[in-house]
Amino acid sequence: MRRVLVGYDGSEGSEKALAKALSLVDEDGELIILAVIPSREGKSFVDRDAHTVMMERAEEMLNRKLEEIGERGFRIRGMIEEGKPAEKIIEI
């Protein structure tokens, strides 16, 4: 089983990366679409309301993309993490 992780932020570059990722997943594999938003922890400039809006937008973006992709012969799931994108990609 091959697991493929792709970072996604709705940009043109992430759309291209997602298209490539979709072509790499085996029938019994899994595709994880990851969106990362800034963490509030230790940052006073990200207020609670802004953080809530970012989380809601990320959820909406992933849900739309998952709906658009539809059913495939493999598992697809969306994830939202908080922090720095590069660090979260490595962690997962």
pLDDT band at 4 (very low <50, low <70, confident <90, very high): very high
The Cα-based distances of 77 to 45, 48, 64 in angstroms read 31, 26, 12
Q: What is the pLDDT of residue 17?
A: 97
pLDDT digits (tens, 9 = 90+) for 30-68: 999 999 998 877 665 567 788 889 999 999 999 999 999
Q: What is the pLDDT of residue 70?
A: 85
Q: What is the pLDDT of residue 33?
A: 97
Separation CA 81–CA 29 (nearest Å): 22
Q: What is the pLDDT of residue 50?
A: 82
**Taking a C-beta distance cutoff of 8 angstroms, is the pair 61, 69 a contact?**
no
Rg (CA), the chain: 14
The Cα-based distances of 82 to 34, 41, 42, 87 in angstroms read 10, 9, 12, 10
**Structural domains present in the chain:** 3-91 (3.40.50.620)
Q: What is the pLDDT of residue 42?
A: 64
Q: What is the pLDDT of residue 40?
A: 74
